[in-house]
């Protein structure tokens, strides 16, 4: 049996094991995928150990994605993004331990799957956020020819990211103007993960011509509610999670991933998690923070 895994800290709420094990079953592969709690300090030991034990591949999540660059051989995209979310062990390249980043690819496929055209010059994209996920999306969409404006709470981070892809960076108070000028609006901040999070901009700025993609996937955000109310296309982060996992599986195995099976497993996992948290809240065992745990993988 081939072993795969996801390393992170915390890791117990990850949806990746359910998603990848469902895919392996559907493909008839003798394989299994486990979550492993690994600290930043032990990441090198853990990756080398997995390589030595013949693991088929790994995913990495918070807080390990940036640290991994010092340990594995990153491909061009992972190097440019500055983060690794997928590790492969030399199937086609000898004994190398290679690092990839499939988050941006997941976002691109999710957008395309919803009918949003990014390929080819001229798509005016407003990307809100300049953290790890935003970087992956920015580099991937820029390679597809999108014209990208980046707005972020920390202006310096927005400007640095925009500068590295030939776009422009803005503070959040420019959002009103930017929303009006854009066709595709992507929220890649963590705002919206928690019930009661504020809106990034007033909902009435949205029009039916907008495509709004919020990469948060653990709940329906105010942004998506506003988009629906405006008659705009509203897309949550579930398919991004599915496609980044599907791409990882393809890198490890060379097989086409069953994205429909993986999506079903993620949606079932989210439903179970929501029911569990509802019960825990009713029993007074957790607050709103309970909703957030484990919702930052990808
Ligand atoms: P990160 O590296 O920590 O970046 C967080 C981003 O959110 C930064 O741009 C930060 O701005 C911004 N931010 C945080 N709090 C804010 C606030 N109160 N007001 C305005 N901006 C705020 O995190 P990440 O890994 O990029 O993840 C971001 C989100 O994407 C999370 O919700 C995560 O669950 C989701 N995600 C989804 C997928 C998927 O597959 N669907 C994959 C990866 C991540 P500053 O730079 O100013 O701090």
SS3 212: strand
Evaluate: CB of 245 within 6 angstroms of ligand 1.
Answer: no
Evaluate: CB of 106 within 6 angstroms of ligand 1.
Answer: yes
The CB-side HSE value for 273 (13 A sphere, CA atoms) comes to 20
DSSP character string of 235-287: E-SHHHHHHHHHHHHHHHHSSPP-HHHHHHHHHHHHHHHHHHHHHHHHTTS--
Which of these, 136, 158, 149, 218, lies nearest to 178 by C-alpha position? 149
Number of neighbouring beta carbons within 10 Å of residue 45: 12
Evaluate: CB of 188 within 6 angstroms of ligand 1.
Answer: yes
What are the tokens at 120? Answer: 């080819």
How far is the C-alpha of 224 from the C-alpha of 203, rounded, in Å? 9
pLDDT at residue number 290: 44
| Ordered alpha helix ranges (H), 90-236 | 103-113, 132-143, 155-165, 175-181, 222-229
Whether 294 has a pLDDT exceeding 60, the answer reads no
pLDDT at residue number 78: 96
pLDDT at residue number 291: 45
Which of these, 188, 199, 204, lies nearest to 221 by C-alpha position? 199
Residue closest by Cα to atom 42 of ligand 1: 298
Q: What confidence tens digit (pLDDT) does each residue in 172-190 have? A: 999 999 999 999 999 999 9
Cα(248) to ligand 1 centroid in Å equals 21
What is the distance of C-alpha 4 from the center of its chain? 19
pTM of the model: 0.93
Residue closest by Cα to atom 4 of ligand 1: 131
Stretch (H or E) spanning 291: helix 289-292
Cα(239) to ligand 1 centroid in Å equals 17
> CA distances (Å), 144 to each of 59, 109, 114, 118, 138, in order?
25, 12, 17, 7, 10
Residues forming a β-bridge with 233 = 211
Q: Is 2 a catalytic site residue?
A: no
Q: What is the mean pLDDT of the chain?
A: 92
In ligand 1, the atom with minimum distance to the C-alpha of 192 is: 32
Check 65, 117, 271, 279 and give the catalytic one.
65
Q: What confidence tens digit (pLDDT) does each residue in 28-71 have? A: 999 999 999 999 999 999 999 999 999 999 999 999 999 999 99
Best residue for ligand 1 mutational test, from 190, 224, 259 (most atoms within 8 Å of Cβ): 190
Q: What confidence tens digit (pLDDT) does each residue in 240-291 have? A: 999 999 999 999 999 999 999 999 999 999 999 889 888 988 888 655 444 4
pLDDT band at 123 (very low <50, low <70, confident <90, very high): confident
97: Cβ–Cβ under 8 A, 6 or more apart, which residues?
47, 48, 51, 71, 72, 73, 87, 88, 89, 90
């Amino acid at each position: 049996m081939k072993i795969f895994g996801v390393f992170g800290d915390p890791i117990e709420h990850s949806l990746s094991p359910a998603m990848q094990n469902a895919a392996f079953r559907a493909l008839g592969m003798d394989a299994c995928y486990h979550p492993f709690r690994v600290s930043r300090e032990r990441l090198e030991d853990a990756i080398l150990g997995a390589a030595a034990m013949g693991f088929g591949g790994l995913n990495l999540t918070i807080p390990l994605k940036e640290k991994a660059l010092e340990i594995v051989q990153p491909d061009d995209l992972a190097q440019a993004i500055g983060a690794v979310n997928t590790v492969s062990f030399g199937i086609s390249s000898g004994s190398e331990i290679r690092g990839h980043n499939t988050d941006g690819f997941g976002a691109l496929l999710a957008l395309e799957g919803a009918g949003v055209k990014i390929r080819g010059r001229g798509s005016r994209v407003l990307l809100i956020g300049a953290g790890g996920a935003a970087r992956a999306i920015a580099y991937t969409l820029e390679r597809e020819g999108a014209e990208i404006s980046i707005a972020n709470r920390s202006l310096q981070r927005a400007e640095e990211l925009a500068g590295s892809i030939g776009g422009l960076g803005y503070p959040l108070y420019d959002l009103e103007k930017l929303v009006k000028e854009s066709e595709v609006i992507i929220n890649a901040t963590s705002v919206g993960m928690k019930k009661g999070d504020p809106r990034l901009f007033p909902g009435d700025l949205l029009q039916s011509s907008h495509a709004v993609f919020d990469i948060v996937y653990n709940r329906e955000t105010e942004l998506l509610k506003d988009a629906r109310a405006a008659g705009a296309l509203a897309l949550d982060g579930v398919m991004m999670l599915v496609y980044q996992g599907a791409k990882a599986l393809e890198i490890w195995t060379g097989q086409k991933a069953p994205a429909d099976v993986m999506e079903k497993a993620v949606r079932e996992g989210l439903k179970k998690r929501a029911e569990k948290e509802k019960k825990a809240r009713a029993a007074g065992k957790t607050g709103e923070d309970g909703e957030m745990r484990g919702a930052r993988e990808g």
